[in-house]
Amino acid sequence: MMKTQREKMTDGEPYQQFDPELIERRTFIRHKLIGINQLDDNEQRNQKVKELFAQTGKDFFVEGGLEFDYGFNIHIGDHFYANYHLTLLDTCPITIGSHCYIGPDVGFYTPVHPLSAKKRDADVELGKPISVGNSVWMGGHVTILPGVTLGDRVVVGAGSVVTKSFGDDVVIAGNPARIIHHLDENGDVIPGD
């Protein structure tokens, strides 16, 4: 059976971004977000966001200014908080664990545009999923690039651009982000690190 463009996109395969089904969903989401981002009632705003995501935990809170493409590729655990202007470009799945706290102006970007100008000119696009473990904290203005996996209990310094994956219990920062500290089981910096 042939895959739809949506299935190809979600699976990280080359797909046509101007497929009618995908355009229709992006347009639907844009219209929904115009209303959602104007709501001053936190409970009402967050309930409407939860209805558009594939999965969220019970304890879920995002501030205003939220932007995303589809919603059906966004999976978020329990005890989640995101500050203002969270961007989730969910061409491929974005999976975020429980007890995660996201600073303002953070972006998760799964789309990958081909290096070949010929392929870009043909509107071929693909993506790579992003996965974030449990108990992760990201400062403001962090950028998470396609294909990145972060382990549990990771701290990402403000302004970091995360271009590769990192395991558990580290503090990363910079552009590109690199490990600046390892953490022990209590979350303290390991001496001599």
* Cis bond upstream, residue 129 (ω within 30): no
Tokens of 21: 């089904």
Tokens of 48: 């409407």
Q: Which of 75, 79, 113, 182 is catalytic?
A: 113
| 8 A C-beta contact, residue 133 and residue 168 | yes
Active site residue 181: no
The sign of the CA dihedral 162, 47, 25, 21 is positive
Q: Which one, of 130, 149, 135, lies nearest residue 102 by Cα?
A: 135
| 8 A C-beta contact, residue 162 and residue 172 | yes
Cβ atoms < 10 Å from Cβ of 171: 20
How, if at all, do strands 94-96 and 74-76 pair? Answer: parallel
Active-site positions read 113
